[in-house]
Amino acid sequence: MNDPIGQISPIVKTPGVTINGTTAELTGFIVLLNSVLRVIFIIAGVWAFINIIIAGFSFISAGGDPKKVAQAWQKIWQSFLGLVIIVTSFILAAIIGILLFKDPGAILNPTLNVVK
């Protein structure tokens, strides 16, 4: 037991990596980061939808005032641009995943391949 060279023991699982056969699923920080990003994207989408509704009411209640109508249209376009950016980020992540890893979910749902 008190060997000066060391001891050979079974491989201990690394914190944050669960070994299942030949694939280790990433857990811990990466899962937390993935969950936080999904919540942020959901909140951003809901926020954009609410802004579109509020801008629509502003547009309706503008009463023909060109300045208020222009402000409402600006808010509508900014909200749509935000939605386009959110959707584009998912599409770009899938394209990069396909090009680099041959898997569209490689970036959004990462896994670690382990050689045995």
- pLDDT tens, position by position, for the chain (116 residues)? 566 665 666 655 554 444 555 455 556 677 778 788 889 999 999 999 999 999 999 999 998 899 999 999 999 999 999 999 999 998 999 999 899 888 888 887 776 666 55
pLDDT at 16: 47
Q: Is residue 41 part of a domain?
A: yes
Domain hosting residue 62, numbered range: 19-113
* Beta bridge partner(s), residue 63: none
Tokens standing for residue 37: 């990003």
**Of 112, 108, 110, residue with least CA distance to 37:** 108
pLDDT at 4: 61
Q: Is residue 105 part of a domain?
A: yes
Q: Is residue 61 part of a domain?
A: yes
Are the C-beta atoms of 109 and 34 separated by less than 8 Å? yes
Global confidence as pTM: 0.65
Q: Is residue 88 part of a domain?
A: yes
Map residue 29 onto helix, strand or coil. Answer: helix
**Residue whose pair of structure tokens reads 């060279």 in the numeric block:** 5
Q: Is residue 35 part of a domain?
A: yes
Rounded to whole angstroms, the Cα distance separating 19 from 59 reads: 56
Tokens standing for residue 61: 């209640």
**Of 2, 9, 7, 27, residue with least CA distance to 17:** 27
Q: Is residue 23 part of a domain?
A: yes
